[in-house]
Amino acid sequence: MNAELTDQQISSALQGISVPPQPQIMVDLQMEQLMPDPDLKVIARLISQDPGLSGSLLKVVNSAFFGLTNRISSIQQAVNLLGVSRVVNIVNAQSIRGELTDENIVNLNRFWDSAQDVAMTCMTLAKRIGCVEPDEAYALGLFHNCGIPLMLSRFPYYIEVMEESYAQNTMRIVDVENQRMNTNHAVIGYYTAKSWRLPAHLCEAIASHHNAAQTFLSPLGTDAEQKNLLAILKMAEHICQAYRVLGNHSVDHEWDAVGAAILEYVGLSEYDFENLEATCQEMTATGEGRYYQD
C-alpha cells in the first residue's frame, strides 16, 4: 500500500465515462491541498459531496492495483487507503477532464444539489430504519442519478425531456426517456457505476431505481437486499422533492403509486414517515450531516 500510483495508472483507471465535478468543490479541495497539513477528514467530506469525484476515487481504490477482497463504497475508507498525495493526484486529473461551460454548470446545479441532499437523507433513513448500511445508503443516494449529467452532455434538450418525464403519471420516467432518446439515465448510470467498480448490488439498484412499481407492487417482487436499498432511496427522493428539483413538477407521481407499499414494507406508519420527513428536511435545509462519517 506504500507504492505510489503513477500518472499512467491514474489516467488508465479514469478512462471511460466521466461525470463532471462540481466547480466549488474543486476550489475547496484545492484550498485544502495548499494547507501545510491537509486534513483527510476535510478532503473526504468535500469529495463525498460530489458524485463524479467520489466515483473516480472509488474506481481507483477498487481497482486491481489495491487487490481488495471486497469492493468498498465508503469515501472515508477510500481516502484513508489512498492517502493525501494519491487523492490530490486523482482530483487534479479529474479537474483537467471536467471543464464545463457556464451553461452546463447552471443546468447541472439541480443534479448536484439533489445528489447531495438525497445521499444525506438516505444515510439518515438507513440509520433510523436499520435495513441498509449507512455508507451504502449514502453511496446509492449520491450515485443513483449519475447518468443525468452524461445524458445532458449528449442530448442538449435533456432537461426538457426530464421535466416531461416527471410530469407523466401513466409511464415510468425512464420510459419517456427511452421514447425520446432510445436510452435513459438509469441505464447510463448503471454502466457508469460499473465503470467506477461500485459493488454489484449498488449498480443493480441504480439500474432499477425507476422500476419501483414492479419492485413493490408485483407479486414476483425482488430480492430483499434490492428492496431495502430501493425503499430507502425512494423515500429519500420523495423527502428531498426530486420531482420538484429535477423534474420541475408539483406532484410526485412515482411516490403516489408506490409510497404506501414502501412504507408497509419497511414497517412505517404515515405518522412515523412524516416525522422522519420533517427531521431529514431540517437537516438538508441547514446542511447538517453532509459529511456522513465520523
CATH label of the domain that carries residue 223:
1.10.3210.10
Mean pLDDT calculated for residue range 61-80: 84
Q: What is the pLDDT of residues 18-69, one digit of tens each?
A: 676 777 787 788 788 778 888 889 999 999 988 888 888 888 888 776 778 8
Same domain, 93 and 172: no
**pLDDT in the model for residue 14:** 45
**pLDDT in the model for residue 16:** 54
Same domain, 75 and 111: no
Same domain, 90 and 126: no
**pLDDT in the model for residue 2:** 40
Domain end: 67, 97, 127, which one? 97
37 falls within a domain: yes
Alpha helices (H) in the chain, listed in sequence order:
7-13, 23-33, 40-47, 51-61, 75-97, 102-129, 134-143, 147-154, 158-167, 173-181, 185-195, 200-207, 212-217, 224-239, 242-245, 253-266, 270-286
**pLDDT in the model for residue 289:** 45
Same domain, 20 and 111: no
Same domain, 166 and 252: yes
**DSSP code for 98:** T
| Mean pLDDT of the chain, nearest integer | 83
Q: Answer yes or no: is pLDDT of 110 > 50.
A: yes
Domain membership of residue 235 as a residue range: 102-286
Entry pTM: 0.76
17 falls within a domain: yes
Same domain, 179 and 79: no
Same domain, 124 and 262: yes
**pLDDT in the model for residue 102:** 64
Alpha carbon separation from 68 to 7, 158, 284 (Å, rounded) = 21, 38, 34
The count of structural domains within the chain is 2
Domain end: 74, 97, 120, which one? 97
Q: What is the pLDDT of residues 224-282, one digit of tens each?
A: 999 999 999 999 999 999 999 999 999 999 999 999 999 999 999 999 999 999 988 88
Q: Answer yes or no: is pLDDT of 73 > 80.
A: yes
Domain end: 97, 132, 154, which one? 97
Same domain, 142 and 57: no
